[in-house]
Structure 1
């Protein structure tokens, strides 16, 4: 997996996803196709049968929602088809930061920050997940515990130190 991290270009990095992230995308796609889209199609069909469509709120909203769902389906289909599933638990070089690592670093103010590096489509800041393409992740990639590095922020350069690196347990 380390070799995969080194050999990939930015285009490939944007396609990385964890097994959990891929599963969630597939579940959303399935739900849209099997539940939401058919329900909206039914509403639009019913509303279209009610006559004048120009002032029919159910019809207008339904068509708008149908376009949103179709756009999301196209996006998810393309992402799932092109995804490169990478399981962080299979990482053999656990002494360095690669995709899927959970990293704790400290800044100049001795403030600790914990982040997990995940795919671009699955990062949720509330869970302290950051995209592999984020500036912080790019700065941390390939680093080891004890490394002091410069993180370029909107406030200017900031020195950070890697405190710990962990990965999910190997299965």
Structure 2
């Protein structure tokens, strides 16, 4: 029985070309580099004797399980993903792949986001999932539109300052 679970209900199976290539490269790296190294380390640790008290053996077995779990997920997820290519015809409207500059109407704080698929989100870079409340509130809006959104810290009002796309 597989432990893989599909993406959350309502999760969008869309991804950028770069994100898709990163996932494929990660799967390849796991199968052809990381997993063989861990298997060799398990073999070496097992040769040292009593496995029940061998910390290296126990650690490596857990590491192998994590690698296999991630590889299984990627093997099933990658074929389901739809790669979004190119920018939309209207580059002033917010769609998947948009880089958005927002201004908090109340505080004047400027925020930068990029709308990406759920498999490529990265909070440090400001990459938000198309399924997030902020992205849902932004979709189909245009430059200078003001909108409200319910965030974890409470409701907030924003104005769209700029929308750009990569070519």
Taking structure 1 as the reference length, the TM-score comes to 0.86
Match of 1:100 in 2: 97
RMSD across aligned C-alpha pairs, in angstroms? 1.7
How far off is 1:13 after superposition? 5.3
Choose the corresponding residue for 2:73, options 68, 75, 81: 75
Match of 1:27 in 2: 25
CA distance in 2, matches of 1:32, 1:153: 36
How far off is 1:81 after superposition? 1.5
Instruction: Say if 1:23 and 1:12 are closer, same or farther in 2 by CA, change over 3 A.
Output: farther
SS of aligned partner of 2:118: coil
User: Aligned residues, how many?
Assistant: 159
Segment of structure 1 superposing worse, 131-140 or 74-83: 74-83
Match of 1:85 in 2: 83
Structure 2 gaps, min length 5? 1-7
Choose the corresponding residue for 2:151, options 132, 150, 153: 153
Structure 1 gaps, min length 5? 1-9
Taking the TM superposition and a 5 Å limit, the aligned residue runs for 1:9-48 are 14-48=12-46
SS of aligned partner of 1:77: helix
Segment of structure 1 superposing worse, 10-19 or 54-63: 10-19
Match of 1:138 in 2: 136
Choose the corresponding residue for 2:114, options 92, 110, 116: 116
Instruction: Say if 1:125 and 1:32 are closer, same or farther in 2 by CA, change over 3 A.
Output: same
